[in-house]
A and B are shown apart, each in its own frame.
Chain A
Amino acid sequence: MNKDATLDAKGQMCPMPIVMLAKKAKEMKTGQVLELLADDIGAKEDVPAWCSRTGNKLVGIEQDGSVFKFYIMMK
């Protein structure tokens, strides 16, 4: 999937992937796609929840072993 940046939150537990994601989102521009890598099992539900709350669009989820790859289009 096309991406403008990658944020590696592997090895980080809740709440850090979301805290890191919110910080990174502030640096990005509207329409850019961020790839977020996370292996916290909770991220599978947490990242979609963050997207729906904040109005950023989750455009894809992939799984590579224990690593989730989230693709988020910035609002």
Chain B
Amino acid sequence: MAEKMCVVVSEGSFDKAMMPLILGTTAASMGMEVHVFYTFFGLKLLKQGNKPKLPGMMRLFTGMIRKKMAKNKIPLPEEMMKTALDLGVNFYACSTSMTIMGITEADLVKGVKVLGASAFLNLAADAKVNLFIG
């Protein structure tokens, strides 16, 4: 059975968008089974058409960092998300957070599943790598 990696993401800023996508696509490329669970503000990252910004006042420089990344051929979050889904990375929305954040299933990127804490912990309990990004 493939080794598992589970990641929890609790913030919705640009940097917090990139980290699980970089680790997720890499782990999937290394033959690992990947599960990424988005909770609280992280949930925004699963909304269709969402363009995350850098945190706090740095948000003003989001355009600059996107340009710099594009120039250096570093994939942007929306492209990375597509690659991750193609590689079979599993993305989950926390059902309770959806209610708190006012996000419905129809708002989510296609391919995202909805889970509760118990289902996620069931996956995490068997994972060799468990990370929290928040």
* Contacts of B7-35 to chain A: CB distance below 8 A: 22-23, 25-26, 28-32
Residues in A with CB closer than 8 Å to B23 are 15
Q: Would you give the shortest CB distance from A40 to chain B, in whole angstroms? A: 10
Give the distance in Å from the alpha carbon of A29 to the alpha carbon of B96 in the complex. 46
Chain B residue, CB-CB nearest to A16:
B75
Q: Is A21 an interface residue (CB 8 A)?
A: yes
* Contacts of B71-122 to chain A: CB distance below 8 A: 72-75, 83, 87
Chain A residue total in the interface (Cβ 8 A): 15
Q: Is A54 an interface residue (CB 8 A)?
A: yes
* Chain A-chain B contacts (Cβ-Cβ < 8 Å), number: 38
- In the complex, the answer to whether A15 meets B73 with C-beta atoms within 8 Å is no
Give the distance in Å from the alpha carbon of A54 to the alpha carbon of B32 in the complex. 9
- In the complex, the answer to whether A50 meets B74 with C-beta atoms within 8 Å is no
Chain B residue total in the interface (Cβ 8 A): 15
Of the candidates A11, A12, A13, A15, which one forms a contact with B29 in the assembled complex, judged by CB atoms under 8 Å apart? A15
Residues in B with CB closer than 8 Å to A14 are 22, 26
Give the distance in Å from the alpha carbon of A51 to the alpha carbon of B28 in the complex. 14
- In the complex, the answer to whether A19 meets B83 with C-beta atoms within 8 Å is yes
- In the complex, the answer to whether A54 meets B31 with C-beta atoms within 8 Å is yes
Chain B residue, CB-CB nearest to A25:
B29
Question: Contact flags (1/0) for A40-70 with B, using CB distance below 8 Å?
Answer: 0000000001100110000000000000000
Residues in A with CB closer than 8 Å to B30 are 18, 22, 49-50, 53-54
Give the distance in Å from the alpha carbon of A11 to the alpha carbon of B74 in the complex. 9
Complex A-B, nearest 7 residue pairs according to Cβ-Cβ distance, in ascending order: A22-B29, A15-B26, A53-B30, A13-B74, A18-B29, A19-B29, A15-B22
What are 12 residue pairs bridging A and B, where the CB atoms are less than 8 Å apart in the complex? A13-B74, A15-B26, A15-B29, A16-B74, A18-B29, A19-B26, A19-B29, A19-B87, A22-B28, A23-B29, A50-B29, A54-B31
